[in-house]
Amino acid sequence: MSGIGERYQQETKYTREDLYGRARQRHRRAAPFKDYEEPLAVIPLPEPELGGNVDLWEALRHRRSRRSYNHAVALRSEVLAALLWATQGISAGKGEILFRTAPSAGALYPVETYLSVRAVETLQPGLYHFRPEHFDLELLKKGDHSRELTAAALAQNMVQQAQVTFIWSAIVARALWKYEDRAYRYIYLDAGHIAQNLYLAGEALGLGVCAIGALFDDEINGLFDLDGTDETIVYMATVGVRAR
Q: List pLDDT tens digits, range 217-242.
A: 999 999 999 999 999 999 999 999 99
* pLDDT for residue 52 is more than 70: no
**How large is the average pLDDT for residues 122-132?**
97
pLDDT for 244:
74
**Tens digit of each residue's pLDDT (9 = 90 or more) over 179-221:** 999 999 999 999 999 999 999 999 999 999 999 999 999 999 9
Residue spans of the domains in the chain: they are 4-241
- Residue 23 pLDDT grade (very low, low, confident, very high; cuts 50, 70, 90): low
Residue 194 · residue 54 · CB < 8 Å? no
Domain 4-241 sits in CATH at 3.40.109.10
pTM of the entire structure? 0.95
Residue 126 · residue 42 · CB < 8 Å? no
Cα-Cα-Cα-Cα dihedral sign, residues 49, 51, 53, 54: positive
The DSSP H or E segment spanning 169 is: strand 164-171
How many contiguous H segments (helices) and E segments (strands) does the chain have?
9, 9
Class of residue 151 by CB neighbours under 10 A (exposed 0-12, middle 13-18, buried 19+): middle
